[in-house]
Amino acid sequence: MRKKSYKGRARAPWLRALALAFVLVGVGLTLYGWFLSTQIEKRFSGRRWSIPSRVFSDSALLYPGQPMGLSALREKLHRLGYREVSGEPRRKGDLRATPHALDLYLHDLVVPSRRREGFRVKILFDREGIRSIVRPVRNDPVPILEIEPEEVMLLFGAERERRELVSIDRVPAHLIHAVLAAEDSRFYRHKGLDLRGIIRALYADLRQGAFVQGGSTITQQLAKNYFLSPEKTFSRKVKELFLSLIVEAMYDKDDILEIYLNEIYLGQNGSVSVNGVGEASRFYFGRPVAELSVAEAAALAGLIRGPNAYSPFVDKERALKRRDSVLRTMRRNGWISQEALRSSLASPLKTVGPKPYARNAPYFVDYLTSQLETLYPREALSSLGLSIYTTLDVEVQKAAEKALARGLARLERSNPSLVRSEPERKLQGAVVVMHPKTGYILAMVGGRNHAVSQFNRITQARRQPGSAFKPFVYLCALDRFTPASLLPNKPKSYEIEGKVWQPRNDEPMTEGPLRMREALARSVNLVAVDLAMQTGLDRVVKTAEAFGFSTPLHPYPSLSLGASEVIPLELARAYCAFAADGVLPYPLSLKEVVDEQGRTLERKHMSIQRVTSPEKAFIMSSMLRSVVTEGTGKSLAKYGITFPVAAKTGTTNGFKDAWFVGYTPDILALVWVGFDDGTPIQASGSKAALPIWADLLNAIPQYVSGGWLEMPPNVVKETVCSLSGKRAVNGCPNPIEEVFLRESVPTEYCRLHQPTNSIQRFIEGIKGLFKGS
Amino acid sequence: VREPERPQRNPGAVASLQLTEQGKMLLKKGEPDAAISILERAVNLNPSNGQNYYYLAEAWLFKGERDQADEFNRLAELYLGTQPDWAGRVREQKDRIRGSRRQ
């Protein structure tokens, strides 16, 4: 009894210690489990990934008769991820090209407030451009076809990860099975750990004498990717096991799989990592996951084990072997039929890329981002996966970039003294292209090389516009003068703040009066200054300010020659009003911001404001057309520009800046050339900037309708004597037709060429009576 | 100075009319923002199609933005004012815009 009690007493502390240890371990594990579960909850319940926002161009509109060539459209479709096929296009994104037609199966169109299912369409071309667009099945004509916007750029955060989120409901069963076959066949049967899988992996590793098979379940992989550092230690493995068990306890299998499918790393595109099956599906096969074939799904799943080792872009043979292995596992598990296995094994491994992620129109995107940052914090832009739709036209942007690069190189070739070895000191240029009526910015090139200089010379530079400012002086003068008015072209001195200023013409010319139209066409300085002085400098400033210039315009006589600095975008916008019936548009780059769920967060529309009458705007355009037909822009014809254009050249003192602003009713483009530090470029606007403008317009025939502005009802035509500017009479040697504001039509007849006999005078008098009525 | 002749065919004008119709339908459905987006594209394709300005004025009026409605009505008047079947509608629209200002 004593012995027993002794034994009992001896065992009790040991048992108590053990029990206490168990309790302590239990409590510790519970607390640790609770700690991990809060970590998991925190990580999974909030925003799981940072998704870069995507900037899109505007969608493209195609229609019969549009002067767009087959090769240009084919190139665009390639950029949009269409794949060339030899047979009939059967799947969305298939494209078959023949010498005169493009037969394609359109992608789905998803743009704000519109969604259209992809369908098959055939676009036939002739020498002029698009001849017809039809739906091949019933030969139904398509009068207008919208092609999806192009991705222009991604707004990344620090992670530089790209991921397109997919919901498990939209992932096809064969992709899920392929992933399970590749990584964790028993996923739906285990509770986070798979002992059978571990033993099988160990056996395989021992047999091969190397690490050939991992035993981690999908849940373990997820735990590892989400919560743990990559080093392989025992403690990390234990933590991984704990996390897996807790994740399985907290979430159902489909949730875990969905997170996994969106999380996994599946390759690298330059400095950007490709994550998740949604993104990888587009990166490797150019289609959404829902459209992946069984073979493609198997190839994608096969990548998980080693995205770079099994990448079809790195080693196609290896990728093919891995795909086939996944396919066989799928068959072994009964997930695909024998027939599906056979056909999938026989199908080639066709990919679309690799295509580097777009980084287009960097100056445009910078400008856009600066506007977006007034609406959203920078961090939100790089993490919320917003879709940002813009007015950018990728074709116009590419044409503008190319024209500028070629034009600057041409200038350097023609004048080697302009060449600079230091990239940041090189000759610079900038281009902006707009729709004059709506203010849509179609293209923006803010400099020669964005990598060297991010200074946007379209939106941030302040440069003297030179003669490109003169139209605002002439517009103001239309209250007193007409295009036929004779204006003095004589040297004069002006006193400004006690100093004498004597303007000169750029080129020597005979003194004597010039018609207003002629003076603007030839950009005569003496006339412009005199006109400004006669009109009143304050009035000129007021008129110009109404056109949206935000920089100070000083009421000095030199203002008329463009001495006050302007921002190039504001100058382009101001010219829009001439092309747009006197209506000034807001320069629009952002159209819509849409969140991941497709909800519109922000929407911008064209916004207009009348700044002059349609009649005056038309007369200005008519006079600016003379710049091209008979003035400083005459050389446009030499570059193949034969359609009606209104334009103005600009050259500043000492040839520091060269400008060309030209427009049609459909499009307006401004070109600036110069050095950032103001070193003279030794060339005028017509020599340096005009050829770039011509090159650009020649490259975008789809924007050239060849039409001209409609004459407003209160503009009238009258024949006048070119020498007197008065109504022409029979004796006038050079009568010309001129346009006038209805209230400003000359009433007086030419006195220089009066009819010599009384009968002629009587006839002219009678004619005058009728015209006067 | 000779004002340029109008080109004999303008395929953009035909395409623009297609968009005008779409914009009109969206307006009927009570979707002014979608209608404006489409009509802006129609203007880009053919800036001298006055109908686009008329419907843009309608859309802005629908949204209660009278200043913009007024601007577009003036453009509609410029392009459609001489067309007998449109001139009356444009005038009536102007009256409605003025009327909505007084309210």
Which of A57, A58, A61 has the most B C-beta neighbours within 10 Å, making it the best mutation to test the interface with B? A61
* Mean model confidence pLDDT for chain A: 90
DSSP A641-672: --S--EEEEEE-GGG-EEEEEEE-SS-EEEEE
Burial of A33 (C-beta count, 10 Å sphere; 0-12/13-18/19+): middle
CA distance A64 to A144: 8
The pLDDT tens digits for B45-100 are 999 999 999 999 999 999 999 999 999 999 999 999 999 999 999 999 999 999 88
CA distance A123 to A50: 40
CA distance A672 to A428: 8
Chain A residue nearest residue B65, CA to CA = A607
The pLDDT tens digits for A539-583 are 999 999 999 999 999 999 999 999 999 999 999 999 999 999 999
Integer CA distances (angstroms), A460 to A218, A543, A566, in order: 52, 23, 10
C-beta of residue A545 within 8 angstroms of C-beta of residue A574: no
CA distance A666 to chain B (A): 7
Q: Does A602 touch chain B (CB under 8 A)?
A: no
| Number of residues that make up chain B | 103
Q: Write out residues 146-165 of A within 8 Å (CB-CB) of B.
A: none
C-beta of residue A296 within 8 angstroms of C-beta of residue A320: no
pLDDT of residue A10: 55
CA distance A704 to chain B (A): 10
The pLDDT tens digits for A361-373 are 999 999 999 999 8
pLDDT of residue A229: 65
pLDDT of residue A761: 61
Which of B16, B31, B48, B58 has the most A C-beta neighbours within 10 Å, making it the best mutation to test the interface with A? B48
Q: Which stretch of DSSP H or E encloses residue A9? A: helix A2-45
pLDDT of residue A690: 98
Range of lowest pLDDT (A304-308, A409-413, A663-667, A677-681):
A304-308
C-beta of residue A275 within 8 angstroms of C-beta of residue A304: no
pLDDT at A4 over 60: no
Q: Which residue has the higher pLDDT, A569 or A48?
A: A569
Nearest to A435 among B12, B15, B44 (CB): B44
Integer CA distances (angstroms), A167 to A223, A254, A316, A424, A723, in order: 20, 10, 29, 47, 77
Alpha-helix residue ranges (DSSP H) falling in A333-393: 338-346, 362-372, 378-381
- Torsion, Cα of A742, A532, A581, A542 (10° steps): -120
Per annotation, catalytic residue among A148, A183, A240, A248 = A183
Look up the pTM and report it.
0.86
Chain B residue nearest residue A63, CA to CA = B15
Dihedral sign, CA of A713, A719, A722, A727? negative
pLDDT of residue A762: 64
DSSP secondary structure letter of residue A716: E
DSSP secondary structure letter of residue A566: B
Q: Which residues contact A79 (CB under 8 A, 6 or more apart)?
A: A150, A358, A394
The verdict on whether A50 is a catalytic residue reads no
CA distance A741 to A618: 10
Q: How confident is the model at residue A773 (pLDDT cuts 50, 70, 90)?
A: very low
The pLDDT tens digits for A714-754 are 999 999 998 888 999 888 888 999 999 999 999 989 888 87
Q: Count residue pairs from A and B with Cβ separation < 8 A.
A: 107
Burial of A99 (C-beta count, 10 Å sphere; 0-12/13-18/19+): exposed
* Closest by Cα among A24, A300, A41, A72 to A180: A300
Enumerate the residues of chain B whose CB falls inside 8 A of the CB of residue A721: none
